Amino acid sequence: MEINLKGKTAVVTGGNVGIGRAISLALARAGADVAITYYDHDEEAANTIRAMGCNCPYLRLDATDSAQVNQVFRQAAEELGGHIDILVNNAGHLVGRVSVAEMSDEHWQRVIAVNLTTAFYCSRAVIPFMRTGWGRIVNMSSLAARDGGGAGAVAYSAAKAGVAAFTRGLAKELAPRGITVNALAPGLIQGTPFHNTFTPPEVQQAIVSKIPLGRGGTPEDVAGAVLYLVSELASFVTGEIIEINGGVWFA
């Protein structure tokens, strides 16, 4: 069954690089108009989407700023025809690897804000623009929410576990409006700024050696799961956390 999103509109936070870029392009290829929010990096992803013939507003956003989130989502809705059908809360960041014994209050609060509070702010902001009867919200959790993450990732793991609980609670709240809410929990996704910055090549290789499927994930692996969740194929799926880790979690 072909996934056809023509006539649908989407917002992907952090949608211009890494996993977010793959998600934005996949949604556009399926026919959706896609607004990309970004914090830095260039406009290459947006230009690629525009070349496909899709509308692609490109909006700078600090998703930890509540007032800014509200303003940017109003602008996104205006530029997308007055409604937002799909939200992918992809924005997130490890920030840094810090042990609990050495962690400052500021580091803890920053990691929680970037990875959990942003999902709350953006979900709250999008709800008024989702038409009752059909809507999709996809949040980004992590394998770290299950296994505690690597060294120095306690704050990140806690935030991503919070995303999973937030997803289930919001799914119950929005189900009467026909809006589904699900999350993805990627493991090692290679070729992204996240792991290029925080996971040395030898550590990545050690992780890959334990993955039953014998390889690391790609951004497209995550994008494919997003396409499923926002399509009619997943119309009866809500409150779920889909693990994307090549089998390493249960191995």
* Of residues 148, 144, 141, the one with CA closest to residue 165: 141
Report phi then psi at 13, rounded to 5.
-80, 140
Of 39, 121, 156, 228, the catalytic one is 156
Residue 121 catalytic?
no
Question: In the 3-class helix/strand/coil scheme, how is 12-63 assigned residue by residue?
Answer: EECCCCHHHHHHHHHHHHCCCEEEEEECCCCCHHHHHHHHCCCCCCEEECCC
The pTM (predicted TM-score) of the whole model is: 0.96
Cα–Cα–Cα angle for 9, 75, 142, rounded to 5 degrees: 60
Read off the pLDDT of each residue in 15-19 and give the average, rounded to a whole number: 95
Q: Which residues contact 147 (CB under 8 A, 6 or more apart)?
A: 157, 249
Q: Which DSSP string corresponds to 178-209?
A: TEEEEEEEE--B-SSHHHHHHS-HHHHHHHHT
What pLDDT does 203 receive?
86
Whether the Cβ atoms of residue 129 and residue 150 lie closer than 8 Å to each other = no
Domain residue limits, the chain: 9-189+218-244
Question: What is the per-residue pLDDT across 204-246, written as a single tens digit (0 to 9) for each?
Answer: 899 899 999 999 999 999 999 999 999 999 999 999 999 999 9
| Region 63-76 average pLDDT | 98
Q: Does domain 9-189+218-244 have CATH number 3.40.50.300?
A: no
- How does pLDDT run across 142-193, given as a tens digit for each residue? 999 999 999 999 999 999 999 999 999 999 999 999 999 999 999 999 988 7
Strand partners for 184: 140, 242
| pLDDT recorded at residue 122 | 98
Q: How big is the CA angle at 53 (ends 47 and 55), to the nearest 5 degrees?
A: 70
The span from the CA of 46 to the CA of 223, in Å, is: 16
* Nearest C-alpha neighbor of 55 from the set 71, 74, 72, 31: 31
Residue pair 14/59 in contact by the 8 Å Cβ criterion: no
Angle at 38 between CA 36 and CA 43, to 5 degrees: 75
Alpha-carbon distance 80 to 189, whole Å?
A: 30
Distance CA 157, CA 160 (A): 5
